[in-house]
Amino acid sequence: MRKKIIAANWKMNMTVGETEGFFKPFLLELGGEKQVEVVIVPPFTSLAKAGEILRNVQNVKLGAQNMSAEKSGAFTGEISAAMLRELFVRYVVLGHSERRTIFGETDEIVNKKTHAAHAATLRPIVCIGETLAERDGNQVEAVLEKQIRGSLAGLSADQLEETVIAYEPVWAIGTGRTATPQQAQDAHAFIRRKLTELWDAATADKVRIQYGGSVKPANTAELMSQPDIDGALVGGASLDPRGFAEIVLATVKLAN
Ligand code: PGA
């Protein structure tokens, strides 16, 4: 059984003050819930504050939105894996579609970062997904396969098991347009088949594949009840502490 993982991708939102304001109502709503893994992914500037608040909280982990593939040195504006580890960060989102399209990250760059994350025992959440034009052109499987082969190249089976894949159709991100549960399930099943082919069935069976793209409380249960959907990467709806708790709790309900 794969434990579901729900992550809050705050993107470039939430000051340190707003981060503090988020946790009180969120932790209150969440209670001691442990059946679903919860990861909060704030901007870099809020990581220290979030880490301080979460120090004694067992059931909420911390993630970062990006990191450098380099260890240290003359890379102005970059953040290293060791810097994140020091702040008790456990997960790092890599290759988000905004990084790929706005900042030109290629599969090769994402792959380097994925290896750097594992080397530092950070768990990568590697994002893949097609654009609307690619979906309309029946390219979904070809695009996903290329991203899987490129972004995850050279990972051992053990490393792959510790990697989370986020399937985020670009046309569903921040648009209010969610993939239907069937569209999402089909893509997830395809991703798992590819992992089976490129690694092996036992490993593919353990990898958690999150869905991302306009997830909100109202569509959570339907999406999360699909057999190959193992969690969600939530953007806009994760900024509201009560709404995000609702998403987590709706997922917990399915586990029972
Ligand atoms: P959204 O973003 O939930 O606002 O669509 C998801 C993401 O980009 O991770």
Note if 168 is an active site residue. yes
Is ligand 1 within 6 A of the CB of residue 234? Answer: yes
Domain ranges of the chain: 5-255
What is the Cα–Cα distance from 171 to 183, expressed in whole angstroms?
A: 13
Question: pLDDT at position 110, please?
Answer: 98
What is the Cα–Cα distance from 126 to 132, expressed in whole angstroms?
A: 20
What is the Cα–Cα distance from 246 to 141, expressed in whole angstroms?
A: 32
What is the Cα–Cα distance from 23 to 45, expressed in whole angstroms?
A: 16
Contact 95, 105 (CB under 8 A): yes
Is ligand 1 within 6 A of the CB of residue 212? Answer: yes
Question: pLDDT at position 176, please?
Answer: 86
Is ligand 1 within 6 A of the CB of residue 8? Answer: no
Nearest CA to ligand 1 atom 9: 235
Contacts of 75 (CB under 8 A, 6+ apart): 68
Question: pLDDT at position 236, please?
Answer: 97
Mean pLDDT by 10 residues, the chain (256 residues): 97 98 98 96 98 95 98 98 97 98 97 98 98 95 98 98 97 90 97 98 98 97 98 98 98 91
Nearest alpha carbon to residue 204 among 196, 215, 212:
196
What is the Cα–Cα distance from 229 to 216, expressed in whole angstroms?
A: 15
Question: pLDDT at position 256, please?
Answer: 77
Is ligand 1 within 6 A of the CB of residue 168? Answer: yes
Q: Is 167 helix (H, G, I), strand (E, B) or coil?
A: strand
Q: Which atom of ligand 1 is nearest to the CA of 166?
A: 9
Question: pLDDT at position 93, please?
Answer: 98
Please give the full DSSP string across 38-101, using - where no structure is assigned: EEEE--HHHHHHHHHHHTT-SSEEEEES---SS-SSS-TT---HHHHHHTT--EEEES-HHHHH
5-255 maps to CATH 1.10.10.10: no
- Of 128, 233, 238, 244, the residue with max ligand 1 atoms within 8 A of its CB, to mutate for a pocket test, comes to 233
Question: pLDDT at position 177, please?
Answer: 87
What is the Cα–Cα distance from 77 to 204, expressed in whole angstroms?
A: 36
Q: Which atom of ligand 1 is nearest to the CA of 172?
A: 5
Question: pLDDT at position 1, please?
Answer: 86
Note if 197 is an active site residue. no
Question: pLDDT at position 196, please?
Answer: 98
Nearest CA to ligand 1 atom 6: 235
